């Protein structure tokens, strides 16, 4: 696997996952509510049935990128309040924006 694909931006992950947790499950966002993960961890989770990978890069960054994680679901980071309620509560969510 190309290590560039597994890069996770922790700042973006925290910033985007906190509203998802708040909107999707009613938990207040905090540093404790969001796990930070390594690219190596993400690589071990790809393709697992209990995992949902969300590509939350800015639209222009997503369009211009030649690298995308296979199977990742594209979501607009500006519309978290609209799509967060649709996320399955029984899956591990991995959001990435790098």
Q: pLDDT tens digits for the chain (98 residues)?
A: 333 333 344 334 444 444 444 444 444 445 556 778 888 999 999 999 999 999 999 999 999 999 899 899 999 999 999 999 999 999 999 998 87
Domain 10-96 has CATH 3.40.250: yes
51 close to 94: Cβ distance less than 8 angstroms: yes
Global pTM value: 0.66
Interatomic CA distance for residues 57 and 44, integer angstroms = 21
Interatomic CA distance for residues 59 and 71, integer angstroms = 18
Q: Select from 55, 81, 59 the least CA-distant residue to 70.
A: 55
């Amino acid at each position: 696997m190309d290590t560039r694909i597994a890069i996770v931006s922790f700042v973006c992950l925290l910033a985007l996952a906190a509203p998802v947790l708040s909107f999707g499950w009613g938990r207040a966002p905090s540093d404790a509510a969001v796990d930070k993960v390594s690219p190596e961890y993400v690589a071990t989770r790809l393709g697992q049935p209990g995992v949902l990978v969300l590509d939350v890069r800015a639209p222009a960054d997503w369009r211009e990128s030649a690298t995308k994680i296979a199977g990742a679901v594209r979501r607009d980071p500006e519309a978290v309040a609209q799509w967060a309620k649709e996320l399955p509560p029984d899956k591990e969510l991995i959001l990435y924006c790098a």
